[in-house]
Amino acid sequence: MLDTSPLSAAVERFADRLRAAPQSRLQRGAAAEGLALARELSQRAQRLEGLPEGAAPRVMPNAGVFAVGDQLAVAGLDLVEALRAADAGGGPDTATAPSEVLDEAVRLVEQAEIRAMR
């Protein structure tokens, strides 16, 4: 079974930091960075779960600067569950192994957190 705890931990850490960030930091770009990451993680989860033929992934809406931490947490959890299902053989065939998707997602989260919180 694929160990998704590094992704879960990275997402929760960043989401908690966004939830605790002052409005000024969120408005200076932290919220935008968090939303962009949440959208990317959400789209990756949708692709792993399998999209209907010719369909594009749904885009996570902008729910405002104070909701972005929760949006990131939800998108991260969705990706974790999609990775677990793909690893167990419950998802569509993909060219990329779930472990590679996991490693790349962890890097994305860590890099976005650095950009958002500097």
Domain count, the chain: 1
Q: What is the pLDDT of residue 94?
A: 60
Q: Tell me the pTM.
A: 0.93
pLDDT tens readout for residues 39-63: 999 999 999 999 999 999 999 999 9
On the 0-12 / 13-18 / 19+ scale of CB atoms within 10 A, 18 is buried
Compute CA distances 5 → 15, 21, 76, 108, 115, whole Å.
Answer: 15, 24, 11, 15, 22
Q: Which range marks the domain in which residue 52 is found? A: 5-117
Mean pLDDT computed over every residue of the chain: 94
Report the half-sphere exposure of 3 (CA within 13 A, side-chain side).
3
Contact 116, 13 (CB under 8 A): no
Which of helix, strand or coil describes residue 2? coil
